[in-house]
Structure 1
Amino acid sequence: MSIAQIKSTVEALIRPFLEENQFELVDVEYVKEGKNWFLRVYCDKEGGIDIDDCGRISEYLSNKLDETDPIPDAYFLEVSSPGAERPLKKAQDFTRAVGQHVFITTYEPFDGLKEFEGTLESFDEETLEVQIAKKTHRIPYDKVASARLAIVF
């Protein structure tokens, strides 16, 4: 089973539980680090997720994975919050992040830059507008390589 298939299977297993309990699935990762495989599930909810929530999600998912056994390798299961610098992956993540400080990298330069850190002013599912030092940069959504919320100190 490919990594993409494992991620898709895990998402399908966990989604009903998350929806029933008003949690949001932020991301699923299945990665090899050194000799070990890690299945990481990032979840959130309105007001933030806590360690008890992560424990409930982990227990549910662990039981489902034991029942279906979709992953051939030994792995470590980790369930956690996406953190303060939450990744922005889906269109709804960008919509929710309007008005917040973000860090964005692009596949190619726009306005001479490939990295943008500033306020996400708008997002219309085709273009992001990021304001940096009183200048607004328009970035095509399909040219975003990575994006996350950014903490301002």
Structure 2
Amino acid sequence: MGFELYALEQSGAGGRTLRVSIDHSEPITIEDCERVSRIAGPLLDHSELIDGPYDLEVSSPGAERPLRAHADYERFNGKRVNIRYRTGTSETVVEGPLVAVDSAGIAVSALGARGRAPVIVHIAWDDVVAGRLAVSI
């Protein structure tokens, strides 16, 4: 099938809901989620993960998915991102196209003030607090 397990969460009253988030190099479709659900359901029924009835929810990581690993940043280089990062003792947020990813960190093209040219913000990996894709509307 070629899908990757992106996240697994057990929630709801008594932990009776199992949320599975899948990923793939191509966009995830509703048909993909249905296919994974049809295959995973019987496997979970025979496992000891959840005893008794449960709800299985299969989804994609979403349009504003978190960027969790270096590989995520490489994969989405060129896409619009929202990055929260440390600047000394405080945190700052920058949003714009991810323009570079390397072993030292990332670079985001941020809008310049009052119509000025974009500014490239370089952020070291150690300073990245959180990152996610950002949808522009």
* TM-score interval, normalised by the smaller of the two chains: 0.7 to 0.9
Alignment partner of 1:68: what SS? coil
In the TM superposition, what is the alpha-carbon distance from 1:148 to its structure 2 partner? 1.3
Alignment partner of 2:72: what SS? helix
**Partner amino acid for 1:141?**
W
In the TM superposition, what is the alpha-carbon distance from 1:121 to its structure 2 partner? 0.8
Q: Which of the two has greater helix per residue?
A: 1
Residue 88 (structure 1) aligns with: 67
Decide which moves more: 126-135 or 43-52: 43-52
CA distance in 1, matches of 2:102, 2:7: 22
* Structure 1: tracts of 5 or more residues without a match: 1-20
Q: Deviations over 1:71-90 (max 9, x none)?
A: 46975321112222222112
Alignment partner of 1:69: what SS? coil
2:43 pairs with 64, 69, 78, which one?
A: 64
CA distance in 1, matches of 2:108, 2:52: 42
CA distance in 2, matches of 1:136, 1:65: 47
Percent identity over the alignment is: 36
CA distance in 2, matches of 1:76, 1:141: 38
Pair 1:152-2:136 in alignment: yes
2:8 pairs with 1, 9, 28, which one?
A: 28
> Which structure has the bigger radius of gyration?
2
Change (3 A) 1:126 1:61: farther
Question: In the alignment, is the contact (CA less than 8 A) between 2:87 and 2:127 conserved in 1?
Answer: no
Query: TM-score, structure 2 length as denominator?
Result: 0.77
Query: TM-score, structure 1 length as denominator?
Result: 0.70
**Partner amino acid for 2:95?**
E
Change (3 A) 1:67 1:101: same
CA distance in 2, matches of 1:44, 1:130: 24
Residue 14 (structure 1) aligns with: none
* Structure 2: tracts of 5 or more residues without a match: 112-117
